Amino acid sequence: MTYQYKNSRVVNVAVVQMTCTEAKEPNVEKALAKIADAAAKGANVICLQELFAGHYFCQSEDHAKFDQAESIPGPTSNALQVAAKQHGVVIVGSLFERRAPGLYHNTAVIFDADGTQLGLYRKMHIPDDPLFYEKFYFTPGDLGFRSFQTKFGKVGVCVCWDQWYPEAARLTALSGAEIMFYPTAIGWLPEEKEVFGASQHSAWETMMRSHAIANGVFVAAPNRVGLEGALQFWGGSFVSDPNGNLLAKAKHEGEETLIVPCDLGLIDVVRTHWPFLRDRRIDAYGDLTKRYIDDAR
C-alpha cells in the first residue's frame, strides 16, 4: 500500500549507472538511449553520472586531456537539451566544461522538460588524491550552491567530492531543493578493496543518506560502474527518501537505471516531525567560515 500525503506530488526520479568507453560519441549515444528508455518507462527527472561522456581521465595529469572539454552550449549539452524537449523530461548532465582558454570546470547542466537550460552547477570541492587528480583539470566552481525550479519540482545538484561536505548539502537545501542529485565517479583501488572496500562504500552511501535526513530532502546518486584504468568504479547508485531510507539501490557490477517514485509531499511531513531547519542556531554558526578554530584565539 502506498501512503498518500496531504500535499502529495509524486515525481519519478531516474539515475543512470553505465560503463564508459574512451571515445566520446558511443557514451553520448548510450546515455541518450538510456534517457529515452527511462522516459518511456515513466521517468520525469533523469540524472547521468559524473563526466558520463568519456573515461574518467583524472587518473593522470595529461595536458592532452583538455581537448575533451566542451563549451556550454556545445555538442553534448545540445544533445541533452534536444532529448529533454523530445521526451518531456528534466535532465541533469555532468560535463567537462571549457569556459575560456585555460579555464575549465567540472559542470552539471540542468535542462527543464521543455528543453530550457535552467542553469549550471560548477563543482565546488575539487579533490587531489591518488588517481583522482582533479585539481590539475578543474577550477573550483564560482556559482555557489543552487537549486533549480523544474516542471516536476525543485532540484539541487552537487558533484561527487561535494557529497562529503554537509555545508554543501545544507546550503543547497536552504536554496529550496526538494531532490538533491550527486552525479558521481567513485571506485576502489584494487589493492585497497579487500581491506577497505566495504568501509569506503558504506561511508559514501551513509554520508549522503545523512544529508537526506539532516535536510529533509530526497537524495539521488548515480555512480559510474566498471573498470577504467586502475579504478574499479563501484556502481551502487541509489535514491534515498528524507528519512534516509534507501528506496532503490543498483548493483556494484553492470549497468542499471533506477526509476524511483518520490512523493515530494513527504518532505513537509518529515520536516514537521524532525524540525531541524526550525531549530538551527543561525546566530552561532559564524565560525563555519573559518578554516579551523584555534584554542588560543
The catalytic residue positions are: 50, 123, 160
C-alpha cell at 36: 529515452
* Dist CA 160 CA 140 (whole Å): 13
Q: Give, in degrees to the nearest 5, the angle at Cα 163 between 143 and 121.
A: 20
| Residue reference for cell 560503463 | 19
**Residue found under cell 502506498:** 2
- Report the distance separating Cα 47 and Cα 173, nearest Å: 18
C-alpha cell at 133: 587528480
In which residue are the cell numbers 577497505 written? 196
- 178 within 8 A of 212, measured Cβ to Cβ: no
How far apart (Å, rounded) are the C-alpha atoms in residues 23 and 138? 20
Helix (H) or strand (E) holding 109: strand 103-111
CA distance 134 to 73: 23
Q: Left (φ > 0), alpha (ψ -120 to 50) or beta: where does 235 sit? A: left
Number of alpha carbons in the 13 Å side-chain half-sphere of residue 272: 6
